[in-house]
Amino acid sequence: MEGVAAEAASLAGHLQLSKLVCLYDDNRVTLAAATDITFSEDRALRFQAYGWQTLVVNKGNDLVALNAALKAARAETTRPTLILVRTHIGFGSPEQDSFRAHGSPLGVEDVKRTKEALGWPVDPPFLVPEAALLHFRQALIRGEQAKADWNARWRAYAEACPSLAAELEGRWRGDLPPGWDADIPVFGADSKGMATRVAGGRVMNAIAPRLPALFGGSADLDPSTYTALEGQGTFNPPNRRGDDLQGSDASGWGFSGRNLHFGVREHAMGAIVNGLAAHGGYLPFGSTFLIFSDYLRPAIRLAALMGLHVVHVYTHDSIALGEDGPTHQPVEQLASLRAIPHLSVIRPADANETAVAWKVALEARDRPVLLVLTRQNLPTLDRTLHASAEGLRRGAYSVRELRAAGAHKGAPDLILLASGSELALILKAAERLCADGLSVRCVSMPSWDLFDAQPRSYRDDVLPPGVVARLAVELGSTQGWHRYVGDAGDVLGVDGFGASAPADVLLNNYGFTIDNVVLRAQRLLAAGSKRPENLQRES
Amino acid sequence: MEGVAAEAASLAGHLQLSKLVCLYDDNRVTLAAATDITFSEDRALRFQAYGWQTLVVNKGNDLVALNAALKAARAETTRPTLILVRTHIGFGSPEQDSFRAHGSPLGVEDVKRTKEALGWPVDPPFLVPEAALLHFRQALIRGEQAKADWNARWRAYAEACPSLAAELEGRWRGDLPPGWDADIPVFGADSKGMATRVAGGRVMNAIAPRLPALFGGSADLDPSTYTALEGQGTFNPPNRRGDDLQGSDASGWGFSGRNLHFGVREHAMGAIVNGLAAHGGYLPFGSTFLIFSDYLRPAIRLAALMGLHVVHVYTHDSIALGEDGPTHQPVEQLASLRAIPHLSVIRPADANETAVAWKVALEARDRPVLLVLTRQNLPTLDRTLHASAEGLRRGAYSVRELRAAGAHKGAPDLILLASGSELALILKAAERLCADGLSVRCVSMPSWDLFDAQPRSYRDDVLPPGVVARLAVELGSTQGWHRYVGDAGDVLGVDGFGASAPADVLLNNYGFTIDNVVLRAQRLLAAGSKRPENLQRES
């Protein structure tokens, strides 16, 4: 019934994944009810519509029929198979065919009655007959033999194709091949700059030829997310190739393609990249707009829980995407993704931070990483004037410190913090504030989780405890920023929904202007450094 | 392709919603590609499997065929209808049948060529022919007539059935009928208490007979969420009634039933309650476990954006649900739901707070409200010793203040804050701290958004700015709590994933014990009141 299963089954049928065999445990009850109350589909017909082979086993305990169905499933070469198996939950127990058998354990008395009904000895409570033990012991021997056979085949393969075998072993381990990052561009200073989605696409395409494990695509948005791997082919069954190839990669169409088109199926995309990572040998990525991360949130959470190395590329990362309006404008998504444990969320501020963010994402290995990128152009910072973008690795870093005339050392008067597109804004505001006689530190803070993982000494270097005048600026929910700006600090964010208008009109109306950042900073300083009464702020 | 559409279509077929007619704009391209790359279902067959009538119109511009199909759809009385309409995106333009026509506007030149191709005058740029104008003006007249006819029928009905008409008008307005809350129980003090999910079920069932607009159900979990409206019937087509009625309401089966079984379809549930609220006349609710709120997050967000009055009941609200383990244990869900603008999230601390929470939820009118309830029992507080549960309406309130011997007035030394199941814990810890000579205020904080909406004076009453020693205790992510506890405060939360064990073992291991709350509070006080160096905390 779950939509994610429908999305995945539809794509599996399209891709002709004939090695996929699903057994549908058709016991006619759910946790709460008989399926008759809510579910009257023709299940077989639905999967036939997806392009699946469907088989029926009328008795779930008929091992001969089950085996025959599995054999037929394995014999199929162009369709996945669904085997609909009629079963009886709580078989033989007084609760047979009851939804109570789903959620509630049988009591001692019912277990006894079940055993009696099935002709099984009531004592001892846990009985393993000798014949069953022998059967399973034989399975151990068969398994050892299968393992030995496989290892022999592998050694033969490794001798015949040593470099391919080495590549595959490296991919299984999750290693990055030597020189994988050699072609990542360094972006020159440019006040016009480029969108971080564009920079991200250039970085991915610089990496892809050297990193064969990189594999993935978008949920029908790659022309907008810039995540197509050019010249790496379209992953699709050769016999699906028709006349209309719009959107496919010109270099080829087949199962060696590395661009997977997920369709408008975000949740399945999240589940599929998880499956690829769990299988091993791939470094899978998925992509959509940041707002649509809500659709695959359960899959992101599972990746974090399972420690799966997947990369998600989420573009159009704020209300600055413009006219598409509040249904498409992420506001609380950054905060809500940052709340997921064991997940890295990185929102780079320019093209070079984007390049470093991709490096971090691919080196992470033990967790999923989300890259959050802009639709709109951002200036590419002159790194001879600003600290190196490598600072992104530590989550936050002082990117520039502007000293008031005559103030050559000591702590700054004010710290401005920003992530992503707002870094350029605070840098400009800092220049104005500096001209007014203030020493201002600008901190680029692309990732809370990477920063939180730093030692206390580094965090105190970036955000010295003595400097309590701190203003954070980010085009998203303010939730969670107070931990970094403190009681005496302030946050300029977006705590309501967006609106439909050109980006510059929106930024002006939501207060993301140099004037307003300067004003908020001045107010902060005027109110004094430590203000206990600020613990409760006006929202 | 989206899973939510599959879930909803399946349920619509089951429910035989014959008034539902969908036109499928089959233009064979998506934003990024030709559908051939990712989508090769037999669409008609899939909907037939769901129990829909399917019709085909081969030419989207054939108005006669379209009209005939719509007529056939309206004539159908037991199935929803899908009309598959073959269309051509960008019809007549140079980009006809191209995915570029989806996302990119035609330029001036292409608009000109389109008009030429369609035999339409190129100038003026916006042309409304006289015949079209007349046609639309006639539609105005027809509309006026239809409105007058409807009003006359309504007046006749209101005369014939005045009380039913008054009820319906009230429901359209979203009014609560007089006395709707008269039967809500007051729960007596009880140290054993009850789970707030159980209290919630009792409150709903006390309201339902007096509030006919209350309508909804759960995504296959009502035996666990306690959200069945007893004696209010099962919403299901009369002719679906078969032999196996497990899980249905004993009082009846038909379209007047008020218990809707959504099946294992959380996302569709979220969309359907939104649709009911947008239609009007209903006060719809949905229910599942808090962890599964991730599945319907996009629908919750839309409800908030649209200001729809829906209520969601999310139970099993923390790791204390026990053995089901981290896949079922919400951790970051509270924080991520609190981040959604225009949404009320309420986590009541005992049975009486649950009753007030339901009142707030039904009185809200202009927004969705989420009630977050426990699986495990919580003591029902003695409200002669503790402040009234009506304090919940203001989001947070001082529920008890324990004075050290001899300290009869003045500010407390310490404020402990908690929501939901952790209120009982801080109350016990406060007794120990008080015995050690401290004055401690215990604040119940079931809702951040309700509290943030209070005037500054009230917020400062509850959390006096001068009392900076504050410890918040909640079985969830600490994200966002720092705004309330301040730089000198601390938060005891869960920033990793849960684990599978009995609830008491988990609570002990995650530090949710009286001993640990006392220890954390003592550390806080020992560290002194204002500690700028605490701005960056160890995580």
Q: What is the pLDDT of residues B2-26, one digit of tens each?
A: 999 999 999 999 999 999 999 999 9
- For the stretch B84-99, pLDDT in tens is 999 999 999 999 999 9
Asked if A32's CB is within 8 angstroms of B10's CB, the reply is no
* CA dist., res. A418 & res. A518, Å (int): 14
Contacts of A486 (CB under 8 A, 6+ apart): A468, A470, B487, B532, B535
B465 and A536 in contact by Cβ < 8 A? yes
pLDDT at B410: 86
Classify residue A368 as left (phi > 0), alpha (psi -120 to 50) or beta. Answer: beta
B332 is catalytic: no
Whether residue A78 contacts residue A53, with contact meaning beta carbons closer than 8 Å, is answered with no
- Using the beta-carbon criterion (under 8 Å), do B32 and A223 form an inter-chain contact? yes
B335 CB within 8 Å of a chain A CB:
yes
- Over the stretch B275-318, which tens digit does the pLDDT of each residue have? 999 999 999 999 999 999 999 999 999 999 999 999 999 999 99
To the nearest whole percent, how much of chain B has pLDDT over 90? 95
- DSSP structural state of residue B259: B
Of the residues A36, A343, A531, the best mutation for testing chain B's interface (the one with the most B CB atoms within 10 Å of its CB) is: A36
Q: Has residue B442 got a pLDDT over 70? A: yes
The pair of three-digit structure tokens given for residue A116, joined into one six-digit string: 């009696």
Please report the pLDDT score of residue B409 as a whole number.
Answer: 79
Q: Is A7 exposed, middle or buried (0-12, 13-18, 19+ CB in 10 A)?
A: buried
How far does the CA of residue B110 sit from the closest CA of chain A (Å)? 20
Structure confidence at residue B104 (pLDDT): 85
pLDDT at B528 over 90: no
CB proximity under 8 Å: A 310-329 to B: 326-327
| A13 near B CB under 8 A | yes
Q: Which chain A residues are closer than 8 Å to B49 by Cβ?
A: 41-43, 45-46, 48-49
Q: Could you give the count of Cα atoms lying within 13 Å of A219 in the half-sphere of its Cβ? A: 29
Is residue A99 within 8 angstroms of chain B, CB to CB? yes
Is A464 touching B (CB cutoff 8 A)?
no
The tokens describing B462, both together, are 């509850």
Contacts of B2 in chain A (CB under 8 A): 3, 7, 264-266, 295
Alpha carbons A30 and A1: distance in angstroms, whole number? 11
Report CB contact under 8 Å: A246, B34: yes
The pLDDT of residue B530 is: 43
Subunit contact B265:A460, Cβ cutoff 8 A: no
At residue B537 the predicted structure's pLDDT band, cuts being 50, 70 and 90, is very low
Q: Do B339 and A477 touch (CB under 8 A)?
A: yes
Q: Which residues make Cβ contacts (< 8 Å) with residue B147, sequence separation at least 6?
A: none
The mean per-residue pLDDT over the stretch A313-326 comes to 97
* Nearest chain B alpha carbon to A343: B496
- Given an 8 Å threshold on Cβ–Cβ distance, is A49 in contact with B41? yes
- pLDDT per residue as tens digits for the range A385-400: 999 999 999 999 999 9
Residue A409's pLDDT is: 80
The 10 Å Cβ neighbour count of residue A152 is 10
Sort out which chain B residues have CB atoms less than 8 A from A50's CB and list them: 41, 46
Q: Searching chain A, which residue's CA lies closest to the CA of residue B538? A: A456
Judged by CB atoms closer than 8 Å, whether chains meet at A49 and B30 is answered as no
In the structure, what pLDDT confidence band is assigned to residue B538 with cuts at 50, 70 and 90? Answer: very low
**A115 vs B: CB within 8 A:** no
Rounded CA separation B42/A49 (Å): 5
Mean pLDDT of all residues in B121-150: 95
- pLDDT: which is higher, B534 or A400: A400
Assess contact for A293 and A337: CB atoms under 8 A: yes
CA distance A400 to A388: 10
Report yes or no: B411 at the A interface, CB cutoff 8 Å. no
* Interface membership of B54 toward A (CB under 8 Å): no
Give pTM, 2 decimals. 0.96
- Report which of B171, B205, B232, B209 is spatially closest to residue B358, judged by C-alpha positions: B205
CB contact under 8 A, B497 and A342: yes
* Among the partner residues B43, B245, B459, nearest to A34 by beta-carbon distance: B245
